[in-house]
Structure 1
Amino acid sequence: MATIPPLAERMRPENLDDYVGQKHLVGNDAILRLAIENGNLPSLILWGPPGVGKTTLAFIIARQLERPFFSLSAINSGVKDIREVIEKACRLKDDNQNLPILFIDEIHRFSKSQQDSLLGAVERGLVTLIGATTENPSFEVISALLSRSQVYILQNLSEDDLLELLNKVLKEDLYLKKKKVAIKEHEALLRLSGGDARKLLNVLELVINAVNKPDVIITNELVLKHVQQNMAIYDKTGEQHYDIISAFIKSIRGSDPNAAVYWLARMIAGGEDPSFIARRLLILASEDIGNANPNALLLANSCFQAVNVIGFPESRIILSQTVTYLASSPKSNASYEAIGKAQELVARTGDQSVPLHLRNAPTKLMKNIGYGKEYEYSHSHENNFSAQEYMPEKLSGTLLYNPGKNASEEKLRERLKMLWKGKYKY
């Protein structure tokens, strides 16, 4: 078996009918399938977890449209490689041949300058870009490139999808048919796969090779016996990635610095991107601590900048300092809840008029009709405060920010109560 391609590669589908999963995109009459069949394909960003078929889908698209397929990995490719592909595309255009599809795996790892180098070719239609990413493209792909692409979200394969794939493998793979493999129990296979087709096939192949007999009966016990001895516990792009970051965030939110730094160490040992960890800390500092300790956001922001300058192994110390500080800080989600309530209020009440005294008056006409006329400049009043109305008339007195029950925000609450004298029910 060692001299033949891996099972996952042998079972890579070559057309949409053999493609497993993502029915919302490539099932009958689904949006992406129609675009492919009509030949009207824009540049795409395929966003989803590992092992759900992003690379395979890109290959199938190129094959079905009968277009040249150029593939780059953002891990080991640079601007020079991009320029070489663009030069090849120019030659194809000059020869009146079909223009290529350029597939870039892990496009989120490309720097801004690398992504910028793609823009001209995409704008001119020299290449149709298909980028694959496991990270939110809103944060990782430059806006200019994102605006020229259609984002499609791929989902973890369902249990039915995974079972379909297993049945397909046993029926169609020539090597497994020779071994007479039967699956008596599948729960362990599915659980270890985490919705990742590639991992599922890798686990299956690992177990079959470990048994090394002509007849193999797959049971949960057999799978766990062999796989736990041979697979890494942490997969920084798979299910463990999401489970461990969840435990990490919840430990900090729960004010347990011991558990938090343990999960940090697990991520470091697994090779997690320090920028990813620091970005999550930055969000948490505002969402879960907020005004209970405003210094938390400052420290988290400094941490984010520092780890992007320093990198591992030294940045583990900076991450540890920030994690233990955030976990030990008082907690408040009052700011998080306030913006949620405000957005719900806007959605429910629509575009309320801005009170006249708060409006800007850059022209004489606007001044004449009362824009800004009765506005009171807060700094001209005692305590730098004027009790004028700042909300739209119909929403007067609506409480959105309710300070949390912690020492820092209790001071804010008392100040607001003193200033507004009962207008808001603090």
Structure 2
Amino acid sequence: MRPATLDEMVGQRRLLAPGSALRRAVESGHVHSMILWGPPGCGKTTLALLLAKYSEAEFRAISAVLSGLPEVRLVLAEAEGRFNEGRRTVLFVDEVHRFNKAQQDAFLPHIERGSILFVGATTENPSFELNSALLSRCRVHVLEAASVEDIVEALKRALADPERGLGEQNLRISEENLRLIAQAADGDVRRGLALLEIAAELAVDEDNEITATTLTQVLADRTRRFDKQGEQFYDQISALHKSVRNSNPDAALYWFARMLDGGCDPIYLARRLTRMAVEDVGLADPRAQQMAIEAWDAYDRLGSPEGDLALAQLVIYLASCAKSNAAYAAFNAAKSDVREFGTQDVPMHFRNAPTKLMKELGYGSGYQYDHDSPDGIALDQTGFPDAMGERTYYQPIERGLEIKLKEKLDKLRSARIAARAQKKS
């Protein structure tokens, strides 16, 4: 059922819409070297085949998983021979991101000379996985996962086509069950067709009808797309973190469930959730950090699936409670000053003086013991090195517990300023 024309391709309406730049280039045969970036089953290989067909070029395919540099050189030599004879070659490199830098560099002179039309396919972000020299010579086209409607359309074509599909079997299936297959395909047209084929084999015993009972068997162990090391992984943890920060417990819980469903290590999630508790909740609700540690400990004791609920409760709490990054911002500001001012001496009044010599040198001189002060705080005593002067890093916000902290610190900072001014006068 692989599409034989651009019109037969499902999905990719943005990229291959009538009149689009890529479609005009393909239909005219004036194509360029390119990187096709998209999830599995979205049409990368099909598009490469169509490029060769419309360009009347030889199609050669290699896989970065299975091919080494000797095979690459052989294919390139063959393409060079065709080029000298006035014939073109579309070289399709599947999983191109798995080639190392040296292997990727082998294509560069051939792309520049025009002896090959290079088409690399990848499921990973080319910015991270491909070297800049190759990227500069290729245009990157982003392909999207097929929608449920797109996959339903492909399944209907397969059911109706007697030559390339299952048309001769006269299969019957309801629209609802067809959508179940499309949903289980999870954006992968190839996967949807494979599921339909399996269901068709089982339907022989059901009077050629693909029933809900049949699909129960076929779809029992389906899994969603998830790459534990790829960009999709980091996109999802980013979505979880930002949903918590956005105080949206429902969205946060969805992304948490998505990552668990995809096989993410719950301990990794526990660590990231603890980071959210200290970075985004902070002192607006100090209980969040304690709850994060307790949820992590509960998962360690219970494991999955029982311990998953402890982490889920933590997700809901973090997303629902008051937020403040004031402590996070204050720490970053303090680190910045450490880098800027270098190694500053501790003020003499803050230094210990355990020996006679140190006392004679002025260590501890002028130190005011706070508990002896009227309000328990020596207001005119600085805590910073002389070269820096007083600094203010922590700026509490008016949310959660920080409302009280802000009231206290605002009064205390004003009193310190007044006390120091009086001392100078």
TM-score when normalising by structure 1: 0.58
CA drift of 1:217 comes to 2.4
- AA of the residue aligned to 1:216: N
Which residue number corresponds to residue 153 of structure 1?
142
Is it true that 1:58 corresponds to 2:63 in the alignment?
no
- AA of the residue aligned to 1:212: V
Q: Decide which of 3, 28, 40 is 1:13's aligned counterpart.
A: 3
TM-score when normalising by structure 2: 0.58
1:267-346 alignment runs, 5 A limit? 289=279
- Percent of residue pairs identical: 33
Return closer, same or farther for 1:336/1:162 CA change in 2, 3 Å cut-off: farther
Q: CA-to-partner distance for each residue in 1:256-293, whole Å, 9 max, x for gaps?
A: xxxx99998876699xxxxxx99xx99x979994997x
Gaps of 5+ in 2: 246-254, 283-310, 331-384, 418-425
Which residue number corresponds to residue 85 of structure 1?
75
Which residue number corresponds to residue 27 of structure 2?
37
Cα contact 1:122–1:128 (8 A) shared by 2 = yes
Which residue number corresponds to residue 183 of structure 2?
191
Which residue number corresponds to residue 125 of structure 2?
136
In the alignment, the residues of structure 2 paired with residue 60 and residue 22 of structure 1 have an alpha-carbon distance, to the nearest angstrom, of 14
Q: Decide which of 203, 223, 229 is 1:211's aligned counterpart.
A: 203
Which residue number corresponds to residue 366 of structure 2?
none
CA drift of 1:38 comes to 2.5
Which residue number corresponds to residue 383 of structure 1?
388
Which residue number corresponds to residue 155 of structure 2?
166
In the alignment, the residues of structure 1 paired with residue 182 and residue 264 of structure 2 have an alpha-carbon distance, to the nearest angstrom, of 25
Cα contact 2:225–2:262 (8 A) shared by 1 = no
CA drift of 1:221 comes to 4.5
In the alignment, the residues of structure 2 paired with residue 203 and residue 264 of structure 1 have an alpha-carbon distance, to the nearest angstrom, of 24
- AA of the residue aligned to 2:138: S
In the alignment, the residues of structure 2 paired with residue 47 and residue 336 of structure 1 have an alpha-carbon distance, to the nearest angstrom, of 36
Cα contact 1:188–1:220 (8 A) shared by 2 = no
Is it true that 1:228 corresponds to 2:228 in the alignment?
no
Return closer, same or farther for 1:248/1:154 CA change in 2, 3 Å cut-off: closer
Q: What secondary structure does 2:219 align onto?
A: helix
Q: Decide which of 33, 38, 41 is 1:48's aligned counterpart.
A: 38
Q: CA-to-partner distance for each residue in 1:227-273, whole Å, 9 max, x for gaps?
A: 234x45355469xx959983797389969xxxx99998876699xxx
Cα contact 2:186–2:224 (8 A) shared by 1 = no
Is it true that 1:22 corresponds to 2:12 in the alignment?
yes
Return closer, same or farther for 1:59/1:333 CA change in 2, 3 Å cut-off: farther
In the alignment, the residues of structure 2 paired with residue 164 and residue 22 of structure 1 have an alpha-carbon distance, to the nearest angstrom, of 13
- AA of the residue aligned to 1:383: M
Q: What secondary structure does 1:96 align onto?
A: coil
Which residue number corresponds to residue 68 of structure 1?
58
In the alignment, the residues of structure 2 paired with residue 215 and residue 243 of structure 1 have an alpha-carbon distance, to the nearest angstrom, of 43
Return closer, same or farther for 1:205/1:243 CA change in 2, 3 Å cut-off: farther
In the alignment, the residues of structure 2 paired with residue 244 and residue 80 of structure 1 have an alpha-carbon distance, to the nearest angstrom, of 35
Q: CA-to-partner distance for each residue in 1:163-215, whole Å, 9 max, x for gaps?
A: 22122112114462222112212231121011211111111111111233484
Which residue number corresponds to residue 5 of structure 1?
none
Which residue number corresponds to residue 112 of structure 1?
101
CA drift of 1:219 comes to 3.9
In the alignment, the residues of structure 2 paired with residue 178 and residue 337 of structure 1 have an alpha-carbon distance, to the nearest angstrom, of 67
1:384-399 alignment runs, 5 A limit? none
CA drift of 1:52 comes to 0.9
Aligned length: 309
CA drift of 1:159 comes to 3.1
Q: What secondary structure does 1:37 align onto?
A: helix
CA drift of 1:333 comes to 6.2
Q: What secondary structure does 2:54 align onto?
A: helix
Cα contact 1:23–1:30 (8 A) shared by 2 = no
- AA of the residue aligned to 2:190: R
Which of the two has higher C-alpha Rg? 2
Cα contact 2:281–2:324 (8 A) shared by 1 = yes
In the alignment, the residues of structure 2 paired with residue 403 and residue 124 of structure 1 have an alpha-carbon distance, to the nearest angstrom, of 62
In the alignment, the residues of structure 2 paired with residue 287 and residue 117 of structure 1 have an alpha-carbon distance, to the nearest angstrom, of 48
CA drift of 1:153 comes to 1.1
CA drift of 1:47 comes to 1.1
Cα contact 1:247–1:263 (8 A) shared by 2 = no
Worse-superposed segment, 114-123 or 242-251: 242-251
Q: What secondary structure does 2:388 align onto?
A: helix
- AA of the residue aligned to 1:209: E
Cα contact 2:94–2:121 (8 A) shared by 1 = yes
Q: What secondary structure does 1:12 align onto?
A: coil
